[in-house]
Amino acid sequence: MAPANGAEAETLDEVQAMKNAANALLKENHLHDADAQYTKALAALNALCERADLRETPAEKLNEAAAVILSNRAMTRIKLEEYGWAVNDASEALSRCPSYYKAYYRRGCAKYAIGKYKEALADFRAVQRLHGKDADNAAKLKDCERRVREEAFARAIAEDSAPPLSDSFSVSSLAPVEDSYTGPRLEEEGEEETEQEDGSAIVKVSREFVDALLEAFRKQQKIHARYAARLVLSARRMFSALPNIVHVCVPAGREITVCGDTHGQFYDLLRIFELNGAPSRENPYVFNGDFVDRGSFSVEVILTLIAYKLMDPSCMHLTRGNHESLAMNKIYGFEGEVKAKYSETLFKLFLEMFRKLPLAYVLDGTGASSLRANELPPSRASETAVPASHHENRDGNDGTDTGASQGATEGGKRALVVHGGLFSRDGVTLGELQRIDRDCEPDSGLMAEMLWSDPQKEPGWGASKRGVGVAFGPDVTERFLDANALQLVVRSHEMKEAGYEVEANGRLVTIFSAPNYCDQMGNKGAWIRFGHDMVPRFTQFEAAPHPQVKAMAYAPNLGMYGLM
């Protein structure tokens, strides 16, 4: 940048200092602080750009400096999974400096991260044109070309697509269980199975099997492929019988635990059970989506959760997250992990199971008799208290009232548990959500918004920072809740430093249960216990030690940052 004098030089020095500080924060993964510093630096530089009469530095040089800051902020937002905002930053950087190849690269990475491969391909080709054959960019370009071909092929055969593999698959096609196999065993197929109302068979899972399963996984042992397939097929049949939104009754004197994203962090899942008690009829859980991807023990996490569900459906409730989808699994590791530990066939069975997961739960403490609800058994007195060695916010939402009491039970209230958030329009009802065909990929419409949306501080609606779904304000939350006789939204989907956050005047809670996310973020995890009053009681916890298998170990060997 050209030298300048006086106030201009002072401003440029301040901008450089703020950018350097932001770069240091980014390097240490203090991402929100880095974002704020880049934003301050950009504001100061933009103010200088607007004062053409008072500056000596050519506009071209100032725009080049702004492009660097915007591109660096795009990198920060990619690491924050704010892919939509990262695309916007990189695009603005290119509008100010069209030859800045790093902005093309970062925009390509952001689009790749949300499955927009054709658009990402154009950006990676621009990098190659401007910067030559960088190895990392070349790998991403090649991968995008492959994925674009795969998408075109999938569209071409969509009309003639075969029925789900799960409908015809027989576990007898897999290798038999060897006599030398020492892991957990299910009963022989057909001997210990129960039937649902539609006549479909559900494998019977005992507490002893689940305990043995967890111990095997703790030791990094696999269960036999036949047993894994039987669990997945049975879980799919069980989920198929559930509506999009499942009602669970939480009567007075009883409690339920809600956990957020676990993302393949199996040893942290074990820590939750160690601190809060194992799932049981007396100690039920809701896990709010994103069980897989990123963490490298995703197979262990999802098999554990569905084993509990099959052992006792009342002890485990699962919602679908945006990572229970083909597009995310291909990028963030679950596909590679299942293929490495089992096979492509089992990966397909997992995908078909994910498409049957419920989209949300209503936790109902009102005692309203009109609901077809699963009755929760009484909590044991010893389980209503959280170990004193772990932080607990028993006031939940800083004392803010979450709504008036409704229904037959005094003080009883209702909460909606959904992975992402709310909608791009008012007037959406629970009845409308029940009519969604959920047996698909969550690419658009109300279902995509349920799995992808995020809250914002401002009223009304905004563009999604992720590039999918919508940003919705506290007023949107209030109108949706009031229209549907709900008092609280419980969602996940976002890493929070404390493991949770309360927003929208106490009517929206984010819960995140993957501490030290991706082995690098340093955040705490948390869970919530609810009674019939739907007052959230938070417990935080630290990450558990785990074997030396890095996060994203099974993801495509492309990295996300390369030229960054």
User: Reduced to 3 states, what is the DSSP secondary structure of residue 515?
Assistant: coil
Q: How would you label 283-317 residue by residue, b for 16+ Cβ within 10 Å and e otherwise? A: bbbbbbbbbbbbbbbbbbbbbbbbbbbbbebbbbb
The closest alpha carbon to 164, from 242, 233, 224, 230, belongs to 233
Stated as kind and residue range, the H or E segment containing 77 is helix 59-79
Please name the residue that has the structure tokens 């916890």. 541
C-alpha 234: how far from chain center:
24
Backbone angles phi, psi at 415, to 5 degrees: -130, 145
In whole angstroms, what is the distance from residue 177 CA to residue 273 CA? Answer: 30
Catalytic residue IDs: 323
What letter represents residue 129's amino acid? R
Decide: 76 and 35 in contact? Cβ < 8 Å.
yes
User: How far apart are the two ends of the chain, measured CA to CA in Å?
Assistant: 21
In whole angstroms, what is the distance from residue 200 CA to residue 193 CA? Answer: 10
Name 541's Cβ contacts closer than 8 Å, sequence gap at least 6.
Answer: 268, 271, 272, 275, 390, 499, 515, 524, 525, 526, 527
The closest alpha carbon to 134, from 151, 117, 109, 154, belongs to 109
What letter represents residue 495's amino acid? M
